[in-house]
Amino acid sequence: MEPVTLTQLQRKVDAYIGQYEEGYFPPFEMLARLAEELGELSREVQHVYGHVKKKQVDHNNIEKEMGDLFFTLICFANAQGIRLEDALHQVLHKFETRDKDRWTRKEERHD
Q: Enumerate residues 29-88 that contact a copy of itself by CB under 8 A.
A: 29-43, 45-46, 48-52, 62-64, 66-71, 73-74, 76-77, 80, 82, 84-88
Give Cβ neighbours of residue 85 (< 8 Å, ≥ 6 apart): 5, 6, 7
Q: Please identify, using beta-carbon distances, which residue of 20 and 56 lies nearer to a copy of itself.
A: 20
Least distance (Å) between residue 56 CB and a copy of itself:
16
Q: What is the dihedral of CA 68, 2, 81, 98, to 10 degrees?
A: 90
Site for a copy of itself in 2-31 (CB under 8 A): 3-9, 12-13, 16, 19-22, 25-31
* 13 and 70 Cβ atoms separated by less than 8 Å: no
